[in-house]
Structure 1
């Protein structure tokens, strides 16, 4: 019976460990597939826009983003390999344990078979019972014979179950090794491609130095456009704060109270009503799980300061998402459409979610109006195509009051 309990314990542990590893493996594969899709999106963009002899800053950032994504994909593959190494080690140990268990069960079963063979005649069993000192001992001997026969049958089943588990683990171990071999092969291809892209990147950086004057002009234009967008967003948020403050003051006077002191940076007033407070809480609770503002796309330029060449730096208060022609832009969360602004030859839509704001820039064909209530994933417009370099990018930002947030931390991975 102790072997049966041991076998049950081993099987249970294997099931729990396998389930945990399967979840981790599935997560890594999902992440790797997502990175592959983003790389493919950026690669498609580069192929469509690389006819020009001189790459634009956007195309350079696309190349840089592709390199970063490929490095992340290689790191994800490393995690897959480490996981498979652990699975191979665990399965190898399990195979050995099951082989040892099977050997013991067979040895014990062989002993029982030999004993049964020597005492197989009905005469031997009767003599074994009649040799009892009293009725109580005879009853115990009878029960022993019955239990011995039942236990022998159980042992036979345990042997078959252990042999089945052993075969399954051997097959699983083979699959682990095959999968590791495939990942290593794919990883080597990714490393070779990464090496080629870094070589291209080095040439581009060299050309940046040679054509620094031209790129500085392009950069100055980009910085002016970014500054106009930032001012427009900040002005829109300040107006939202002022309107919320006026509404709160009017409500206080209506209830016979004195209005609260005004401060231009008091963004908590945006969540003063129960409705806006709930919306703020729900938006915060969706951090890391918000849907992307386009159905398919890749981050070509992330949040923060980016360096081009030696003396060229650009600060991005959001992210730039490379996508396909005619891609529909959709709201990442329910809320109310705020200001819709024409900037830099395209449109910008700001949506308020209580104390939070999402900003969608470089749109054409906007399909919403200011003050309109909107739901999650509801279309709000289409991404515009840049007429100069052919890039199709949505500029996306998230704010908490007047404080810009990194959208990558909010969108689902």
Structure 2
């Protein structure tokens, strides 16, 4: 009989020890899981922050690209106008050259005619062959005016030609400068597009990481809830065994206490002689990780061994 009692007590103690071990293991797993949840929550917050920053960078790059495109468009318009101006200037220069050539040809014809008529072989002979002083003076004025007009015409043509050449050179230099600006703007636009593509790759990677972290968080939260449910089940089983084992001998007193439970608030006897409350009922911050909330469906009392 004593042996049977000893075996029975040993089995009860072993079962109790196994329950405590399973509960401790589950609580340790849940604590570790809550730490991982907190760490992944921080990682997710950092990833979301980086995503916002990257999105802001991409928007800024897009704005710069639009500005560069506008600059390139404006420069191209200016280049088009300059090309038209250069074409007109070149046409004017061509006309002046044609006029100069015509004037030279006209002068050559006059000289040829004068040579053929022998009237202008020697201006002095042409003047002295006049019938009167008035005719000689008129001939002199004619020769002087003709010479002056030709000199002025040539001078004017040369001045206009020089002026047009200067303007043409200026326009060509300006067009070359504008062309260089356009090429630089296009190169900057290409660089911005390259940076934009790189930022978009980073953004895709960040969103992929966020998706993975969220999936892992969901899995960890489900696992945490499962562990909490399992811990609660073990605690309920332990409480049930303890209540059955340590049932109060005085059944009428127990019935009186349970019958008027609300009225006996503050009068219920402690389940142990000595102990302290270490876990309250309801939702509360985790004792280690303050950013995590845990749910307790009972009251935890810590007592010395043997209580």
TM range (shorter): 0.3 to 0.5
Please report the TM-score for the alignment, with normalisation by the length of structure 2: 0.44
Higher helix share goes to which structure? 2
Higher strand share goes to which structure? 1
Please report the TM-score for the alignment, with normalisation by the length of structure 1: 0.34
Q: Which structure has the larger Rg? A: 2
